Structure 1
């Protein structure tokens, strides 16, 4: 997903275009990694003096509910990034230092769960560590 697609999704769901929303989404697009609400605040406070965590959390919640952003938890803090462009089933390697991700296209759950006779309706598999640049 890109910023234009995200803004179109917001509009189609009845949300108004605002410069703050556009700038938040542009930040996620430019960064290409998981960001915490405090990262968003620090980046946008220069332009929007007095911007509050409430505004950020409210928009992050809307973006996540609409599938524009996906969320994970790192070190006890919720972080967000643009949802993946691919509809293929995949998982992520997530760098704990820079927050960048890589796709894992093999699903380790398929073999493990099929042997247990359990019907899975959804799951999330994330591997945390350090990318080559951050090691």
Structure 2
């Protein structure tokens, strides 16, 4: 997903184009990591000093609902990033310090599906691996 694709999708669904929405989407385009609502709010306040947390969170929820953004939870806080532009099934490694992500093509569901005794019907799954990227590990002196 990118800014233009997201704006087109919003337009197709009948949502108004606003500068705030465009800037919010631009914030995600500039980052390859999960961002908290507070981080998005801070980024918007340069051009929109009176923007409210409610406005930011309402738009983040809309973007999630429209699958423009994907969401995860880190340290008890919802974090958002652009929905992956790839259509193939994959998962992510997520840095607990900076929030950067790395795509992983392997899926543990293959093992689970092969070993499921048919007493459980799987309807979906989410698999994320948490740790620290090399930049954060090096920066911490580890």
Q: How high is the TM-score relative to the length of structure 1?
A: 0.97
What corresponds to 1:112 in structure 2? 112
Answer yes or no: is 1:55 the counterpart of 2:55: yes
After the TM superposition, which residues 77-92 of structure 1 pair with which residues of structure 2 at under 5 Å, given as runs? 77-92=77-92
What corresponds to 2:100 in structure 1? 100
State how many pairs are aligned: 135
Question: 3-state DSSP class of the match of 1:55?
Answer: helix
What corresponds to 2:140 in structure 1? none
Residues of 2 paired with 1:113 and 1:78: CA distance? 29
Across the aligned residues of Structure 1 and Structure 2, the Cα RMSD in angstroms comes to 0.9
What corresponds to 2:131 in structure 1? 129
Q: How high is the TM-score relative to the length of structure 2?
A: 0.92
Q: Deviations over 1:81-132 (max 9, x none)?
A: 0000111110000001111101110101211243122332210000000011
